[in-house]
Structure 1
């Protein structure tokens, strides 16, 4: 792989991170880049690795998802080399971020995972974030993995209703 192309892919990732107002997950970036057939999965793995090693991005794993944030060094690098991104690619990125803004925000703000905590016991861990701060964090011990999965799935789908219900009940 030519270093010229690797540099371009790095700039695309940095541009996406810079233009989005919430942290993006690796999966979200994979989706955009692979869907548009800019490069392969393996090349993109190399890009993420090189960006992290050179401290242009920070990786944070939350609820089994790895979120990426651009660092000040990454921002400076983008200022120097960002002009290598074709304007049509920039436009595609901007349109993707605009069209998917609510979905991207929810995926970064609504987190759910579970883990085995003992014999016949799992704990579902649910979090809602706003502006980088946890506004709700719930832990539910349950007897089966299936129940834990169901709780996590329902949190992803019904978090706003659940949050509104909790607030209304607590304000009585």
Structure 2
């Protein structure tokens, strides 16, 4: 079991991270960052984060079904009082990697793809956002789970290329297909 000083240090580490990142961090992003950098194990991290939210030191806000975390004013006060218990090397590690972490979070927030089972297949929702504006949102039917996964993987792996390909295809001048009537109302007028 963790002793009290270790628990306090881990909670201060979480507060320090949120203060340093200075932007909302999604729950999955937070988990990935903490585990990739080996700041603490998953179970303690979840416990400490829940306690910090309960103690109102961390704000949790849901947006599009995802929880986002930020440090609260009360959390900043506590951090200012106890930041000195964090080892200098750990603070330096966080400060040195924060720009790369911020960039990755920004990209993950802008480009998303997810799939859900629907009927006999899957529906894939792909999005590209800039700030709070949706640049492109596409819903695609996929026959298999593997197809749905591949669509998500390609969308998040090559967003610029796919965006430009779709945009080029959609704005290209095309000859009118004579079998498709542009205005169905004109068709009805001819019949009367």
Q: Which TM class, normalised by the smaller chain length?
A: 0.7 to 0.9
Name the CA distance, whole Å, in 2 between partners of 1:72 and 1:170: 47
User: Which runs of no fewer than 5 residues in structure 1 stay unpaired?
Assistant: none
Q: Which TM-score applies when normalising by structure 1?
A: 0.77
1:35-50 equivalence runs, <5 A: 37-50=38-51
How many pairs were matched up? 170
Larger radius of gyration: 2
Cα–Cα, structure 1 residues 123 and 37, in superposed 2: closer, same or farther, change >3 Å? closer
- 1:138 match: 138
2:86 counterpart of 1:124: no
Q: Which has the higher contact order (CA 8 A, sep 6+)?
A: 1
User: Which runs of no fewer than 5 residues in structure 2 stay unpaired?
Assistant: 173-192
* Cα root mean square deviation, aligned: 2.9
- 2:60 match: 58
Q: Which TM-score applies when normalising by structure 2?
A: 0.70
Cα–Cα, structure 1 residues 79 and 133, in superposed 2: closer, same or farther, change >3 Å? farther
2:93 counterpart of 1:92: yes
TM-fit CA distance, 1:130: 2.6
- 1:153 match: 153
| Contact 2:111/2:128 (8 A) holds in 1 | yes
SS at match of 1:136: strand
